[in-house]
Amino acid sequence: MKAEQLKAWREKLLVEHRRIEAELEGFKELTGSTSRESAGDLSAYSSHMADQGTDTMEREKAFLLAGQKRRRLDEISQALLRIEAGSFGSCDKCGEPIPTRRLERMPGATMCVPCKEKLEKQGRIPS
């Protein structure tokens, strides 16, 4: 991949990295240490059971979304490391370029589609 393309990818990934970090900061408020604290209720009175159930469900959704965001953040971090190492955009197996469309959807992709499919058929899907 050309230097100007790598620079553009790096900038794009850094913007995405910052955006996701900001979203994760927002999740901290939703995933406080207790459901009452996360709802901003610091009183000694308990809320209605239905409200408690809703609060619990919202916290669980926030935990799931935060987990997805953290995985995406890790994927972007790994892609940034590959840019620095000079291996971003090249298949680890065959050395061919990974299509831009694939990298846009999965910046952490380390293999082209044919190599990935071959591994999946063999049952050796890398983590």
- The answer on pLDDT for 42 being more than 80 is no
| Residue 103 structural domain | 89-127
pLDDT on residue 56: 74
CA angle 27, 28, 34 (to 5 degrees): 110
CB contact set of 70 (below 8 Å; sequence gap of 6+): 24
Same domain, 16 and 62: yes
| 49 — pLDDT class (breaks 50, 70, 90) | low
Give the long-range contacts of residues 121-126, CB within 8 A, separation 24 or more: none
Judgement on whether residues 57 and 101 belong to the same structural domain of the protein: no
* Residue 45 pLDDT > 50: no
Please state the domain count of the chain: 2
Is 55 found in the same domain as 75? yes
Instruction: Return the pLDDT at 28.
Output: 73
Model confidence at 35: pLDDT above 60: no
Model pTM score: 0.70
